[in-house]
Chain A
């Protein structure tokens, strides 16, 4: 039995191949991972991974529009569009998720899983 304690950086993690790093900005790819799948998106801020499953009723979340939204406001009849390209809307019931954090925009208690995407020598991989 080893007495060595694993450091956090060496904690077991797995990399899943996610294809070539040739996605255009705004592009996406859905990568099967066993019994589920992960959406890999490219935005101006880089590559982002998010689970392809809406916790509401199980729709393929990553098939939804990547868009913006009307930002929260204190004024009635005031609509300020923001977060363009960062809001993933479920194709079924239009639930809005922050692509980068996985946070549902209307329900603070709800967050979907996001994944770090690693680019190496022209290839992408998902850290799961």
Chain B
């Protein structure tokens, strides 16, 4: 057993440190090229995505039956992104399409719609992971410029999710592509409740700007937007967190994420409210992911 070496540096160590002790049945490996969308050289970004997908899905994932892969695509070239999705969509261990959370435009921009349509047509959710905001060709890390401390940056990532989700709603992506499913990793969750309140209010005022929206914005989000837990918010009263989870339809839309091997990893055995909320906890830890990915991956 490889007791030493950097965390996640080989499949056996991942099993030893993460999968075995926490009873993890399925692990979607999201890899380490979140920076894809920050790269200015589009040809390089496209080539990097292609090479990484080959290594992840053909070399790494087969080394443990609990591993599942993703399809990274470079949104700087939507046509190449669609081709990359088509290339990998038939792979039985590929779970979703992965794109950068920050790039040259908010993610609802019409130039990206073909990518989302290709993902949905192949039964693949689209996922993003935070922390490339402000790097490379992206804008400043916050709408107001640069932060001094990591805590400012990391806490403020909720604003990035807020921008992207609002863009996806208002540019009509959810309405246009009913099978489009969007997954957020490492953006927090609790901000979604006031966002829904605000979007619904704005829509009642400004519906005519977005005639493609036939329902309340929150109705689309409660069906098509998925959240992951890490870093889980920790209010003084756990009941407040449970209230928020229910308000955003967390019963079906929230899934556990570990962030392993990062320092702010969440332990699935202790983070979620248990006992009186055992059903919700079970859905977050297992059943919601099974519902989203299970059919495609043959999980039970």
Does A71 count as interface, using CB distance less than 8 angstroms?
A: yes
Most buried by A among B110, B205, B211: B211
In the complex, which residues of chain B have a beta carbon less than 8 angstroms from the beta carbon of A113?
none
Cα A105 to Cα B205 in complex, Å, equals 10
CB contact under 8 A between A94 and B113, given known A70-B211, A76-B172, A79-B211: no
CB pair B206–A94 under 8 Å, yes or no, is yes
Cα A74 to Cα B211 in complex, Å, equals 8
CB pair B110–A76 under 8 Å, yes or no, is yes
Does B171 count as interface, using CB distance less than 8 angstroms?
A: yes
CB pair A106–B212 under 8 Å, yes or no, is no
CB pair A96–B113 under 8 Å, yes or no, is no
CB pair B211–A73 under 8 Å, yes or no, is yes
In the complex, which residues of chain A have a beta carbon less than 8 angstroms from the beta carbon of B172?
76
CB contact under 8 A between A96 and B208, given known A76-B113, A76-B171, A76-B176: yes
Does A20 count as interface, using CB distance less than 8 angstroms?
A: no
Size category, A interface: 20 to 34
Interchain nearest-CB distance for B285 vs A (Å) = 36
Q: How many A-B residue pairs have CB under 8 A?
A: 42
Size category, B interface: 10 to 19
Does A101 count as interface, using CB distance less than 8 angstroms?
A: no
Most buried by A among B113, B205, B208: B208
CB pair A95–B113 under 8 Å, yes or no, is no
In the complex, which residues of chain B have a beta carbon less than 8 angstroms from the beta carbon of A72?
211-212, 214
- Residue-wise, chain B 183-220 has the 8 Å CB interface mask toward A (1 for contact) of 00000000000000000000111111101101000000
List the 7 closest A-B pairs by CB distance, nearest first: A106-B207, A70-B211, A70-B208, A76-B172, A93-B205, A69-B208, A106-B204
Chain A to chain B contacts (Cβ below 8 Å), 8 pairs: A69-B208, A73-B212, A76-B110, A78-B211, A78-B212, A96-B208, A104-B204, A106-B207
